[in-house]
Amino acid sequence: MSRLHSLLSCTSGRNTTTVKQDDFDSEERKSWINYVPLCFLVFFMVAPHPSLLIILINYHLRTLHAPITFIIHLLITYTLTFLAFSSLIVCLARDPGPTCVDDSDEDSDGQHVGLTEALMSMEGDNDFTRFCRKCWVPKPDRAHHCSICNRCVLKMDHHCPWLGGKCIGFRTYPAFVHFLACITALSAYIATISVSAFWWSFNHSFLVLVITPLHELFLATFSVCITLVVGSFLVYHIHLITTNQTTVESLSPFLLLRHIPPLPVSMKLSDPPEEEELSYSQRKAVRKAHKSLRMYDVGWRRNWAQVFGWSKPRGWISRLIIGGSGKGDGRSFPRNPRSQEMLSQLAERLEKEA
């Protein structure tokens, strides 16, 4: 009954332009333990600042007598900290991307889906081609069901336990990448300050306080580790944006099976075929095709514009401060012009390997 109620709420026409309450109700209630990683994340963001202030005051003010340099370092570090917390708050407070909205939503295309259509399969590439079998809501292209949150998310990237057990989706992905970029830049900047100060203290040990090199060594080690760890995630997501992929799409090659042309009935496969129905050689062919087939890759400029583009005047300000939200409605995406040809080749390969 709860699933039917969620489906009815999605197909009804209530006069609201925001996310339905039923969409939030479909998400599992989280216990306090889900927020423990988030507390550790905030702690890791705040913990280095006492040591940073000690280094800046003892090294730049009391030792080098360079107040201008002190102020510059202070402004840069706390500006990056503010930007990191801004995008973190957006990731926590904003819904990642509900698939259940009214047709009065300003981002929707104005189409209304009825209950009859919901219970039937429908045609079309970029429309509501299918409904989720678990939460019974429309499931557009690139939307996925999160088994942990018990809901579907538009253009779902991944489920992040570090953000209070929330999913990263269409409406929060730019803020998430913005957060990674700010944390990487902040940790790299602090690492530069700490390493240079520690090297100076190592060569002038009689001119500094004994406790200062300890803070410099701690902060240098901590910030270098954070830079390497978070920076690697940032590089990975830069690659995903450039090739117009999500983490789910990048790590799940068999999602291509949803888009291949119908296979011959003689193969006795589902439509679309399931991974467990394929032979070893067929699965190998799908994995090989996944390495070169990018369903939504329309060129790196347009790929980046889909994530960080804006349509309103001065939209770059929100992108710079909080990362903002993705451009478009999150339900339809232009496809790679060569994708259909490559999918046909994959279908022929699967038929040959049968």
Q: Mean pLDDT over residues 15-39, rounded?
A: 61
Q: What are phi and psi of 279, to 5 degrees?
A: -80, 175
The H or E element spanning position 166 is strand 166-168
Task: Give the per-residue pLDDT at 37.
Answer: 93
Query: What is the per-residue burial (b if ≥16 Cβ within 10 Å, else e) of 122-131?
Result: eeeeeebeeb
CB-based contact 298:336 (threshold 8 Å): yes
pLDDT digits (tens, 9 = 90+) for 113-162: 444 444 443 343 444 457 888 888 888 889 999 988 889 999 999 999 99
Kindly calculate the radius of gyration of the chain based on its CA atoms and give it in whole angstroms.
Answer: 25
Exposed / middle / buried, residue 118 (Cβ in 10 Å: 0-12, 13-18, 19+):
middle
User: Which are the contacts of 259, defined by CB distance < 8 A and separation ≥ 6?
Assistant: 272, 295, 339, 343
Q: Encode pLDDT of 57-75 as tens digits.
A: 988 888 888 899 999 999 9
Model confidence band, residue 270 (pLDDT cutoffs 50, 70, 90):
confident
CA angle 179, 185, 186 (to 5 degrees): 85
User: For the residues of 197-237, what is the DSSP string, one character each?
Assistant: HHHHHHH-GGGS-THHHHHHHHHHHHHHHHHHHHHHHHHHH
* Strands 151-153, 158-160: pairing kind: unpaired
Classify burial at 106, counting beta carbons within 10 Å of its beta carbon; exposed 0-12, middle 13-18, buried 19 or more.
exposed
What is the CB neighbour count within 10 angstroms for residue 217?
Answer: 17
pTM: 0.84
Average pLDDT of the segment spanning 196-203: 86
Q: Could you list the active site residues?
A: 160
Q: Please, what's the b/e burial string for 69-81 (b: 16 or more CB within 10 A of its CB; e: otherwise)?
A: ebeebeeebeebb
